[in-house]
Structure 1
Amino acid sequence: MAGGLFGQALVIDIEGDRAAGTPLPLDERVLRRYLGGVGLGTWLMHRLAPPGGDPLAPAAPLAFVFSSLVGTPLTTSAKFAVVAKSPLTGLLTDALASSQFAIAGKLTGNDALVLRGRADRLSVLLVDGDGPRLEPADDLAGLPAAEAETLVRQRFGRGWRTAAIGPAGERGVRYATISHDGRHAGRGGLGAVLGAKNIKAVLVRAATKVGVADQAGVLAAARDLRARSFGPATAKYRELGTLANLLAFNAVSTLPTRNFTAATFDGAANLAAEELHDLRGVARNSCASCSIGCEHIYSRKGGGSQRMEYENVFALGPLCGVSDPDDVFAASARCDELGIDTISAGGTIAWAMECVERGLIDEPWLRFGDGAALLRALDAIGARTPGLGELLAHGSRHAAARVGHGSIEFAPQVKGLELPGYEPRSLQAMALGLAVNARGADHNRSGAYEADLSGDLDRFDGGAAHVAAAVDTEDRAAVMDSMILCKFLRGVFEDPFTEWARLLALVTGWDTDAAELRAAARRIVAAKRAFNTREGATRADDTLPPRMLATPLELGSGRTAALSAQRLATMVTGYYAARGLDEQGRVTSDDLADLLLDA
């Protein structure tokens, strides 16, 4: 087997109070074509997920997937992917996270851990060299993930690394997260999938070692990459973190505000990293095996601290019209405690606030700009309280279907996944990336906003150049998410595919080159799309909310930005052509054969 890999996934079947593990051999052709992480997880879903199955049924698989780079000294490589069919979208979802869980999980001797079945009581699953086993965890019921982690570590020992769910995951909130070391596999409801298996936490402990093909070469590459990670390409993340985007996006009219009715926010300065850094900044932290240190910690009113990033501030601040940083900090902390995705929570609540304004939901207290109302809504969602909480726990698409009266037209979602903090009408390469992405509205699997903001194309007038940018950034993301490396490193690579191929070759011993990695990227994107087609997705899903395509965005001084349905459709058609898909966006039979889905 190649360096850095074990050549097997462990399929763990849970039933009653027992867990049994069965090794699934992974052909080296599959590992080389899919790389690991999200790529390998997608292949595993094709292989193990029942077609048309309920994401929350016992038979639905949930995969924790590693890669050949995990456990090496390469900076940012201590990452893992969680992959499943999403209970929020009904399609493929994946989420990446960084922590020591990645290293310990891989060193159980497996390239992936795949969970199926359901325990008969709330339990924790332990996996090490002795295989999997269940332990009862009734005392952990209703606890935040961080508290559950602390207790299981005390119970089982510090050698175990933990990924856990909060109360929202136990209650099946469709956008519940899986958390570990204060970080989250956040989007698509993976925490609900784990909760449906009656598993509060997964604990892993290292039991073996794995070598690399060229130890000296890997060490030299690690030193070089670490040095470059301190350069100007990552300076923004070190100095202010991702929250630095807030004022920048506000300045160029691409900060979604009040449920995407505007793209600038009057209260942006109150929430800006520049302001908070001076008044509230208390610490900077790094993920496991990371030299960048993008995590910025701020003090909270009344004591304590909170990690803040652009996406949670956008979703719980401007999107809901909330400008008081104490309210946004408290809302972000509440999402962490409940174990819910901040983007989907903020987007769903913002939609509900607009419904209240329009008289479609009778909850007069739920108003834009009211921080107390925001917290009250989050509590209702986490508890799935009858009425509003139960409605919003399913996400904005499902809630709009129940409320009706045209509310789906302003539900901020694509394929059921709520939009991140990028205004599509003023970022039209990103608009295409959001529309066609397999996961739904997603900024991490399509970084086309980089092209929009580069100045190299007209971000208000989508066309062929925007299609090329969307394809290129999606390919790059597919490789980084599968090898796995942090996206914040992307700017340090001058010739990314060539440099990534060299890193992979040093670890595995494969004679990998840039052309092979480009082919792998296209294969991974195609495999995601093929899975979604299998689950019922059609061309009609590759679109944006009607509001984005019917209502021009006011930019001030009489200027507007507009994205017509026809322009988006033309770009979607161009994307299909660039990907070699048929006119309905389906993978062709020749490309399907290349995916090795039956290997």
Structure 2
Amino acid sequence: MTAGGYFGRALVVDVAATSAKGSALELPEPVLRAYLGGVGLGTWLLHRLAPPGVDPLAPEAPLAFVFSPLVGTPLTTSAKFAVLAKSPLTGLLTDALASSQFAIAGKLTGHDAIVVRGRAAQLSVLLVDADGVRLEPAPELAGMPAADAESAVRERFGRGWRTAAIGSAGERGVRYATISHDGRHAGRGGLGAVLGAKNVKAVLVRSGARVDVADSPAVLAAAKDLRQRSFGPATAKYRELGTLANLLAFNAVSTLPTRNFTAATFAEAPRLAAEELHEMRGVARNSCASCSIGCEHIYSRKGGGSQRMEYENVFALGPLCGVSDPDDVFAASARCDELGLDTISAGGTIAWAMECVERGLIDEPWLRFGDGPALLRALDLIGTRAPGLGELLSLGSRAAAEVVGHGSIDFAPQVKGLELPGYEPRSLQSMALGLAVNARGADHNRSGAYEADLSGDLDRLSGGPAHVAAAIGTEDRAAVMDSMILCKFLRGVFAEPFEEWAQLLRPVTGWEVTADELRAAARRIVLAKRVFNMREGATAADDALPRRMLDTPLELGSGRTATLTAERLRSMVTGYYADRGLDAEGRPDPADLAGLLLDA
């Protein structure tokens, strides 16, 4: 009998067949218990289904939509799903999380995951429900923004279907294209390009099955308690101003990356701050599906319409590119939504190109820091992969730097090919380690070590053993939250996270889950990601930061500087390896591999 919250099977769909063929992959209970769901289970599936060395855009490369045991329960923030593939941007494992009704409908097709392989003969949509799968040609959707494609398929197939779709960037293979649904995005690593390479414009799912929990009254009681706690002070910032509240706070402590990480403060940050925008332009607040927090803040746009704004898209399209006009930043964010582009990678790649222009390495004199219309023009070139600059920047900053040469890789703002988020590593040195070692690359959601840096408990300007422990702790907690799946904005609600998460899983699954079991699951998931990347060619040399972060002191004002040397970072990486039970090259002990259940 399958544990509560699970169906015990994944659906593997081959879209190369004219009508699409689906087959069931049984998911043994030991695997479900070891990897939980979401990112953890998706990592296990990629090990099983991705041929070693596969080209991320090849037909045989799998793309997995993965659900969790909590999806469909009344637990707040549980309507989330993970998307995993080998990234065309990094060549390594990538995963992205998103919240929407797609998660609930996708799971209630009767599967814990839906995996797509093959390449359709023409642009098509894939439909999955409890009755099976089918592929429908949809050439009329070519070039449409994801939101327009969602509307079109809803009109064609009915309102009961939930849709995840790509924009023109995904169709054209931009390496950081997104998958979108209900105005939200599975954003990082180029998952939209992977779906586009399969000639699939959209995946439609429709509820038709039922999944039971082990103890429904206990789940309802846990949901009521968690909902009440979600209204507390730990989430107040997100309700009141959203993530954009970070902008002025980070600017004040010199950790707001500006002009391609040449500075960490932006003089015109107040023009883009949540406090200013909320007063002048705030029009609405919204929530994700099955969420009681309500972190989404909607602002009015010049000329009409509105736009959802968050810290990361404002940072990447604003200070990082030197752009301070909120209308330009709003327009750029909207353009990324229309094209289906990851805002962090788009902003980081354009900021790198702007610096290349300043240095005379790229002959596009119109592309200048601080020029909003130039930013918009560059986004259009990228989204269509226009010959020349558009094609170059569609590769991401690392691959583009390899083309341009002349040492431009030293200031390309990336780790393992993934562009850095809005946290300055030199002034947040726990975060510096987290960014360097993370399997996905430079990422703030899989390694939220900035929490430790900003807590006041550590010297954020001088990394050492305590910073190693902090980075490992946040990485482990993220691994469990991303696999159960729960929103990171709840993290401050849990006083004893692993024990409290175990208390949520017990009535859903019927397992006698313990805190120590979840700690072991976290370590297993982190290790399984590393093992996948090693299989695909990653080495210890990839656990690093751009040379700019290690060679150039950061000015903090008042004569102060922050310095992160290569030696200090390497010392922290070595400590991380030791604490993770890895050898000096970041490789696991062969005895530890058996616990990953990769042959199950």
Fold-level similarity (TM above 0.5)? yes
Partners of 1:219 and 1:114 lie apart in 2 by: 31
Partners of 2:210 and 2:131 lie apart in 1 by: 15
Read off the aligned partner of 1:535 and give its amino acid letter: E
| Deviation at residue 17 of structure 1 after TM alignment | 2.4
Partners of 2:14 and 2:30 lie apart in 1 by: 26
Partners of 1:328 and 1:413 lie apart in 2 by: 22
Partners of 1:526 and 1:16 lie apart in 2 by: 35
Residue 320 of structure 1 aligns with which residue? 321
Contact 1:177/1:190 (CA < 8 Å) preserved in 2? yes
Read off the aligned partner of 1:419 and give its amino acid letter: L
Asked if 1:391 is matched to 2:392, the reply is yes
Residue 52 of structure 2 aligns with which residue? 51
Asked if 1:531 is matched to 2:538, the reply is no
Partners of 2:19 and 2:550 lie apart in 1 by: 51
Asked if 1:25 is matched to 2:11, the reply is no
Residue 245 of structure 1 aligns with which residue? 246
Partners of 2:96 and 2:480 lie apart in 1 by: 14
More displaced stretch, 420-429 vs 573-582: 573-582
Contact 1:17/1:121 (CA < 8 Å) preserved in 2? no
Residue 102 of structure 1 aligns with which residue? 103
Partners of 2:266 and 2:172 lie apart in 1 by: 34
Residue 491 of structure 1 aligns with which residue? 492
Partners of 1:525 and 1:442 lie apart in 2 by: 14
Partners of 1:589 and 1:216 lie apart in 2 by: 44
Contact 1:315/1:346 (CA < 8 Å) preserved in 2? yes
Read off the aligned partner of 2:7 and give its amino acid letter: F
Residue 566 of structure 2 aligns with which residue? 565
Partners of 1:355 and 1:305 lie apart in 2 by: 33
Asked if 1:149 is matched to 2:150, the reply is yes
Read off the aligned partner of 1:56 and give its amino acid letter: L
Read off the aligned partner of 2:417 and give its amino acid letter: G
More displaced stretch, 49-58 vs 579-588: 579-588
Specify the SS of the correspondent of 1:188: coil
| Deviation at residue 556 of structure 1 after TM alignment | 1.1
Residue 587 of structure 1 aligns with which residue? 588
Read off the aligned partner of 1:305 and give its amino acid letter: S
Read off the aligned partner of 2:324 and give its amino acid letter: S
Read off the aligned partner of 2:318 and give its amino acid letter: G
Asked if 1:516 is matched to 2:535, the reply is no
Residue 10 of structure 2 aligns with which residue? 9
Specify the SS of the correspondent of 2:263: coil
Specify the SS of the correspondent of 2:71: coil
Contact 1:435/1:542 (CA < 8 Å) preserved in 2? yes
Residue 203 of structure 1 aligns with which residue? 204
Contact 1:218/1:507 (CA < 8 Å) preserved in 2? yes
Read off the aligned partner of 1:130 and give its amino acid letter: D
Partners of 1:386 and 1:14 lie apart in 2 by: 30
| Deviation at residue 38 of structure 1 after TM alignment | 0.1
Partners of 2:461 and 2:448 lie apart in 1 by: 17
Specify the SS of the correspondent of 2:185: strand
Read off the aligned partner of 1:51 and give its amino acid letter: P
More displaced stretch, 15-24 vs 251-260: 15-24
Read off the aligned partner of 1:46 and give its amino acid letter: H
Partners of 2:52 and 2:487 lie apart in 1 by: 32
Residue 218 of structure 2 aligns with which residue? 217
Residue 120 of structure 2 aligns with which residue? 119
Residue ranges of structure 2 left out of the alignment (5+ in a row): none
Asked if 1:258 is matched to 2:223, the reply is no
Asked if 1:131 is matched to 2:132, the reply is yes
Task: Write out per-residue CA displacement over residues 209-241 of structure 1, whole angstroms, 9 at most, x where no aligned residue.
Answer: 111001000000000000000000000000000
Residue 376 of structure 2 aligns with which residue? 375
Partners of 2:473 and 2:326 lie apart in 1 by: 36
| Deviation at residue 155 of structure 1 after TM alignment | 0.7
- In angstroms, what is the RMSD of aligned CA positions? 0.4
Specify the SS of the correspondent of 2:283: strand
TM-score, normalised to structure 1, is 1.00
Residue 80 of structure 2 aligns with which residue? 79
| Deviation at residue 16 of structure 1 after TM alignment | 4.5
| Deviation at residue 18 of structure 1 after TM alignment | 2.2
Residue 66 of structure 2 aligns with which residue? 65
Partners of 1:19 and 1:521 lie apart in 2 by: 35
| Deviation at residue 21 of structure 1 after TM alignment | 0.5
TM-score, normalised to structure 2, is 1.00
Partners of 2:396 and 2:153 lie apart in 1 by: 31
Residue 291 of structure 1 aligns with which residue? 292
Residue 338 of structure 2 aligns with which residue? 337
Asked if 1:168 is matched to 2:158, the reply is no
Task: Write out per-residue CA displacement over residues 392-420 of structure 1, whole angstroms, 9 at most, x where no aligned residue.
Answer: 00000000000000000000000000000
Partners of 1:524 and 1:132 lie apart in 2 by: 30
Specify the SS of the correspondent of 2:98: strand
Residue 355 of structure 2 aligns with which residue? 354
Residue 550 of structure 2 aligns with which residue? 549
Task: Write out per-residue CA displacement over residues 192-224 of structure 1, whole angstroms, 9 at most, x where no aligned residue.
Answer: 000000000000001111110010000000000
Asked if 1:411 is matched to 2:397, the reply is no
| Deviation at residue 557 of structure 1 after TM alignment | 1.4
Task: Write out per-residue CA displacement over residues 19-38 of structure 1, whole angstroms, 9 at most, x where no aligned residue.
Answer: 10010000000000000000
Read off the aligned partner of 2:294 and give its amino acid letter: G
| Deviation at residue 172 of structure 1 after TM alignment | 0.2
Task: Write out per-residue CA displacement over residues 408-436 of structure 1, whole angstroms, 9 at most, x where no aligned residue.
Answer: 00000000000000000000000000000
Residue 366 of structure 1 aligns with which residue? 367
Task: Write out per-residue CA displacement over residues 521-574 of structure 1, whole angstroms, 9 at most, x where no aligned residue.
Answer: 000000000000000000000000000000000111111000000000000000
Specify the SS of the correspondent of 1:119: coil
Contact 1:174/1:188 (CA < 8 Å) preserved in 2? yes
Partners of 1:174 and 1:591 lie apart in 2 by: 34
Specify the SS of the correspondent of 1:233: helix
Contact 1:18/1:119 (CA < 8 Å) preserved in 2? no
Contact 1:257/1:319 (CA < 8 Å) preserved in 2? yes
Specify the SS of the correspondent of 1:18: coil
Partners of 1:253 and 1:590 lie apart in 2 by: 44
Specify the SS of the correspondent of 1:118: coil
| Deviation at residue 445 of structure 1 after TM alignment | 0.1
Task: Write out per-residue CA displacement over residues 261-289 of structure 1, whole angstroms, 9 at most, x where no aligned residue.
Answer: 00000110000000000000000000000
- The count of residues paired between Structure 1 and Structure 2 equals 599
